[in-house]
Structure 1
Amino acid sequence: MSSTPSAGPFQPLKADDPPVVGGYRLAAVLGAGGMGKVYLSYTPGGRPLAVKVIRAEFSEDPEFRRRFQQEVRSAQRVQGLYTAPVIDSDTEGAQPWLATAYVPGPSLAHAVARYGKLPLRSVLLLTVGVAEALGVIHGAGIVHRDLKPANVLLAADGPRVIDFGIARAADTTALTGTGVSVGTPAFMAPEQASAGTVTSATDVFALGQIAAYAAIGAPAFGDGPSHAVLYRIVHEDPDLSSLPDELRPLVGRCLSRDPADRPALADIIRMCHEISPTPLRQGEDWLPQEVAGSITERHRLPAPAPTPPPRPAAPPTPTQVSPGSHPSHPRTQADHIAAAMTQTGPAAPQFPGAAPPGPPRGNPAFPGYTIQPPYPQGQFAQPGWGGNGAFPPGPTPRRKRPGLIVAGAVLAGVAGLALLGILLPDRSGDSTSDKGGRADSSAGGGSADSGPTKPVDPRPVSYKGIDLSASYELMLADNPPRPKENNDSGVLYGDGDFYFHRDSLFGDEQVGSANGKLVVLKNSQKGSLELCRQESRFTESLGLDQLTPGSQICVLSKAGHIAVVTYRGKSGDDDPSRYITIDLTVWRNAEEASQD
């Protein structure tokens, strides 16, 4: 279940990553998952934040938006010592997002994959910390639903549970209403996997899985295809033979198939204290030294992106700001903090990630947090904020004389025509042209092109018989293109120009591009650079059942490369690996790079 750890905790922003979200200037990519991408940012005061931007597919679903808004409101009520509090959010914007406190520590999944299983004391402190977090989460009326090692972060002073309740927003939406369960298969409870029933006891089962995973270094129900793991969870007992003897009674009860037989959270905490030979106290020595070193690595935060130089503020127009009022577009907490902390006058500080001020909005994450509205006209206006904040009174425009305007327009028109006559090439026949369209100006001692030269198309490069395994992707810029696995965010949300994905739970297979677009050509069409440029029937993914051996696909990457993929077939059912075979013809740098 574990994946190879990424090269570092902070990945640079890519061309398709937004520079700012909700007024927070982004500094790095922290990770990506099934529901969105997580970025590092900072408050105006310099405190780090984790900003999670929801995938566009979810944001287009109105039922998801309604549930997401409810879950964020509930999550803002959770203020436990072992949770990462929700600081800010926007559930109504074009792409919903939420910001939580940044936790400088690896996930349990990362730590175990890199350093192996944890010692008994660390497992017990992990278990009591997560149990206490679940108590606070359940007290707010939330069931986590997706408690797994990737959602438990290991901070210097104890674990932190993140993403609580957010998975519920994706349940029963258009994307998951076709039988897809919400949750991670290897850590689902039996009732969740079989009938979709979720209660607080579902999280207790996941807690037992987490304790076993930390102590064993592997999932209690083993690895393998998702459907096989789910079958074992529903019908078989977990393999606890490698679990320390002290933990077996506790973990065994948590992993009971009947939710009624699972212990209460208070009982779990009590049992952990009884098991431990010494009193359980969270402290900086609760983790092995090598894992603690990984925490230190995450304290070396990258600097926020530089703030663009300010632009002079334009005076207001009647359609922008009316006297004594403010723009009506929504404001985030970053806006309010920047407005409250900014001083009037030219020496006002500029904060990283700060956005222009606007009407205040309450935030349940901070009881008593208020800013007194309304601000007087121009009180917090700063250079460069333009139409995003309150404007200072502009100068009274002078009345223009119509006669002077008309006279000036006539003179400008005459001057423009004269200049155009000078610049236009001579077409009277005094000069001769060669066959290439180049005017012969030898009499004048020089030459000039009659027009822009058409760019030369790149030469195609072909590669035959590429075997592309499931969950692997290709980059068209590579020579030769070599299939590679995306361990950070998966091929569906990675940066591959062309990928092959197979859902191990339901067997669905598809090809697609996470960095461009596709067009499957008709049988009567033959793939070429010109044809791929002309096509407009774009998509981002295709079901493998839409292809037959010989089918051709145009791939247009955002980096400007164009390719024709010829599908040759896929591996047989008796083959231990799953892959497709393709031929590839690439025209590199055939178009201008795009960030769209």
Structure 2
Amino acid sequence: MRAGEAPISTGTGDILTPLGPDDPRETAGYRLLARIGEGGMGTVYLSHTRGGQAVALKLIRREFGDDPEFRRRFEQEVRAARRVQGYHLVPVVDHDTSGQQPWLASAFVPGMSLHTALTDHGPLPLPTVFRLVGCTARALAAIHAAGVVHRDLKPGNILLGADGPYVIDFGIARAADATQLTRSGGLIGTPQFMSPEHALGEPVGPATDVFSLGLIAALTATGRHPYGTGGAMTVAAQIANTEHRPPRLDGYPQELRPLLERCLAADPRERITPAELAALCERSAGRPLNESAGWLPEPLAAEIARRELAAQRPPKPADPLTGPPSVPTYPSPAGTIAPGDPVPPGTRPGFATPPPHQQPTQASPQPVHPTMPPPVFAPAPVTAPAPEPRRAVRVAAAAGAALLLVAGTWVIATHGDDKGGDTTNADDRHSDRPSTPGPDPEATDSGSSGPPAQQSSYKVIFKDRPFALRAPAEPSVIGVDLDEPRVSGPGEFTDGDDELELSEVSGGSWTFRTPMGKSTGATPEQCLQGSQSDVLPSEIREKELQRGQTLPVGTRLCTVTSDGNLAMLKITKVEKRATNDLPDYFTELTLWQR
């Protein structure tokens, strides 16, 4: 990123701004409602999926879209991000890397960047700092587990939401083994938040993000950078010289110093890991990281609440004949509040339910909850042609990773090359792209018990089919495809359509390739809600499975499959085998078409 270039955020910026005369009103079936922000690579707009989920749609500038090298880099960035799933990350909902003008849609989070918070409100109290750093460390753990290094972690790339922080802007995040990006006339990364190895131009790994997070922790707690207040390149030079002249930390709070010392070690091998850092922050905060109530000081919480209100009803586009649009007001428990009005203390407005006549593209934004992996949205219930026959030969299962990413500033090299560049494939199919705006088609599910006004639009493909998840008989990894349904044999290749992998390697584990959650009931609506709200970690180790506490008999597991269907696995029996680390799980599988 060039010095001074603004990132593109998935939050509201200050307040949503009306569409101008030159702004498009629609992109690929998405109705654009207002501007969220603008950065060096494009403009971000507020829109909604056909299902009513609010998204931040980033439309790339045409001059970049016309550059083949940019397209190649852009596609690689999307692919790298799709391997990432976890906590405190914002998922990609939809994208197009091959169209006339590339674009990317991610879940919308009403909030503000840490950079803005520090500029407007000053340093944050230590309990908030520990929670922010701990949750960010959890996000880094998920990023690094996918073989990706962020490379540009800084206050502008951490978004503060009402329920917690989110890591955003994967614009120059790269696979750990990729060749370092370069750009003619520009500097990759932000000098003030680089690690020593990054500043020296050496290869970077996960530890470089930990160093950056240590710098962020120091700045957030005190407003002072450990390497002083000089210019960007001066600070970068001091960081590069850390081995010979480490920063003085005696002026920082005593409670914070152990964290800073372990993050800011000159040798990457001596730095704390993200998992250890998250645990350290939880102990220091004295409360679980997933407890979000009151995590922000009142002025910041009120400001974010104001932004949430502003996002409920986007401003109407400016009319050249009548002048600027009027300022909307929003209902709240405390009365009617305009976007610029202060929110009364203690008011925590929710998102109003849209009127029955309102189209899905006008639904109120749904905030992403930070204590679970944000939802990956599935295809809208539109009439589609009959699916093509599934291939008998299947290719690598790693391609089935869930779509997760933050909308960010994409910094693309104009020279240098990556080894093994990817090409566009079927993964570029859009996951929840709306067709022509209008009411969703309705279908009746005989299993639904809701009132007529809330009839289910799900169609049962099969119901309560016995389906055994047997552990491999030898050290190997097998895939589970819930759409067919089918369990692959040891050593069999897959085509990336698996929702689950069973591994009998290094103690054994289950790995979810699509976000898997627990449902509170048997209806498709409850199943979908569970898949998006009570989401499990992407991996469950053998010890947890053996104890039967995480997935006891009676648990209903739900996911939106790689084919866009809705699957429910009800666990009916668990058996432990003496020859295996993993137990066998017996289930009843129900599959709905959406």
* TM-score, normalising length: structure 2: 0.50
Determine the structure 2 residue equivalent to 1:283: 292
Match of 1:107 among 102, 113, 127: 113
Letter in 1 for 2:563: T
Deviation at 1:339, TM superposition (A): 9.2
- Going from structure 1 to structure 2, the CA distance change for 1:203 and 1:339 (only over 3 Å counts) comes to same
Report whether the alignment pairs 1:370 with 2:468: no
Query: Residue 149 of structure 2 contacts residue 206 of structure 2 at CA under 8 Å; is this kept in 1?
Result: yes
Map 1:424-463 → 2, pairs under 5 A: none
Report whether the alignment pairs 1:29 with 2:222: no
Identity of aligned residues (%): 46
Query: Residue 49 of structure 2 contacts residue 433 of structure 2 at CA under 8 Å; is this kept in 1?
Result: no
How far apart, in 2, do the equivalents of 1:225 and 1:6 lie? 29
How far apart, in 1, do the equivalents of 2:39 and 2:250 lie? 32
- Going from structure 1 to structure 2, the CA distance change for 1:302 and 1:231 (only over 3 Å counts) comes to same
Map 1:451-490 → 2, pairs under 5 A: none
Determine the structure 1 residue equivalent to 2:441: 343
Deviation at 1:365, TM superposition (A): 6.9
Query: Residue 80 of structure 1 contacts residue 136 of structure 1 at CA under 8 Å; is this kept in 2?
Result: yes
How far apart, in 1, do the equivalents of 2:179 and 2:205 lie? 20
Query: Residue 82 of structure 1 contacts residue 130 of structure 1 at CA under 8 Å; is this kept in 2?
Result: yes
- Going from structure 1 to structure 2, the CA distance change for 1:337 and 1:95 (only over 3 Å counts) comes to closer
Query: Residue 187 of structure 1 contacts residue 206 of structure 1 at CA under 8 Å; is this kept in 2?
Result: yes
- Aligned partner of residue 75 in structure 2, secondary structure: helix
Determine the structure 1 residue equivalent to 2:21: 15
How far apart, in 2, do the equivalents of 1:305 and 1:71 lie? 32
Comparing 44-53 and 298-307, the one that deviates more: 298-307
- Going from structure 1 to structure 2, the CA distance change for 1:17 and 1:241 (only over 3 Å counts) comes to farther
How far apart, in 1, do the equivalents of 2:439 and 2:69 lie? 37
Query: Residue 43 of structure 1 contacts residue 334 of structure 1 at CA under 8 Å; is this kept in 2?
Result: yes
- Aligned partner of residue 53 in structure 1, secondary structure: strand
Deviation at 1:256, TM superposition (A): 1.8
Determine the structure 1 residue equivalent to 2:183: 177
Q: Deviations over 1:302-355 (max 9, x none)?
A: 546889xxxxxxxxxxxxxxxx999xx99744446779973399xxxxxxxxxx
Determine the structure 2 residue equivalent to 1:78: 84
Query: Residue 108 of structure 1 contacts residue 153 of structure 1 at CA under 8 Å; is this kept in 2?
Result: yes
Please provide the CA RMSD for this pair. Answer: 3.9
- Aligned partner of residue 112 in structure 2, secondary structure: coil
Letter in 1 for 2:140: L
Letter in 2 for 1:342: D
Determine the structure 1 residue equivalent to 2:273: 264
Q: Deviations over 1:24-67 (max 9, x none)?
A: 22222222333333222222232211112233443333233223
Determine the structure 2 residue equivalent to 1:238: 247
Q: Which runs of 5+ in 1 are unaligned?
A: 308-323, 346-361, 373-596
Deviation at 1:294, TM superposition (A): 1.5
Report whether the alignment pairs 1:149 with 2:342: no
Determine the structure 2 residue equivalent to 1:127: 133
Comparing 136-145 and 171-180, the one that deviates more: 171-180
- Going from structure 1 to structure 2, the CA distance change for 1:21 and 1:256 (only over 3 Å counts) comes to farther
Query: Residue 22 of structure 1 contacts residue 90 of structure 1 at CA under 8 Å; is this kept in 2?
Result: no
Query: Residue 182 of structure 2 contacts residue 188 of structure 2 at CA under 8 Å; is this kept in 1?
Result: yes
Deviation at 1:174, TM superposition (A): 13
Q: Which runs of 5+ in 2 are unaligned?
A: 318-384, 388-425, 444-496, 500-512, 516-559, 566-594
Comparing 81-90 and 335-344, the one that deviates more: 335-344
Q: Deviations over 1:557-584 (max 9, x none)?
A: xxxxxxxxxxxxxxxxxxxxxxxxxxxx
- Going from structure 1 to structure 2, the CA distance change for 1:306 and 1:33 (only over 3 Å counts) comes to closer
How far apart, in 2, do the equivalents of 1:144 and 1:64 lie? 19
How far apart, in 1, do the equivalents of 2:99 and 2:29 lie? 12
- Going from structure 1 to structure 2, the CA distance change for 1:338 and 1:201 (only over 3 Å counts) comes to farther
Query: Residue 137 of structure 1 contacts residue 164 of structure 1 at CA under 8 Å; is this kept in 2?
Result: no
Query: Residue 23 of structure 1 contacts residue 335 of structure 1 at CA under 8 Å; is this kept in 2?
Result: yes
- Going from structure 1 to structure 2, the CA distance change for 1:292 and 1:186 (only over 3 Å counts) comes to same
Report whether the alignment pairs 1:69 with 2:75: yes
- Going from structure 1 to structure 2, the CA distance change for 1:47 and 1:115 (only over 3 Å counts) comes to same
Q: How many residues align?
A: 338
Report whether the alignment pairs 1:45 with 2:51: yes
Determine the structure 2 residue equivalent to 1:413: none
Determine the structure 1 residue equivalent to 2:166: 160
- Aligned partner of residue 246 in structure 1, secondary structure: coil
Query: Residue 340 of structure 1 contacts residue 371 of structure 1 at CA under 8 Å; is this kept in 2?
Result: no
How far apart, in 2, do the equivalents of 1:241 and 1:16 lie? 53
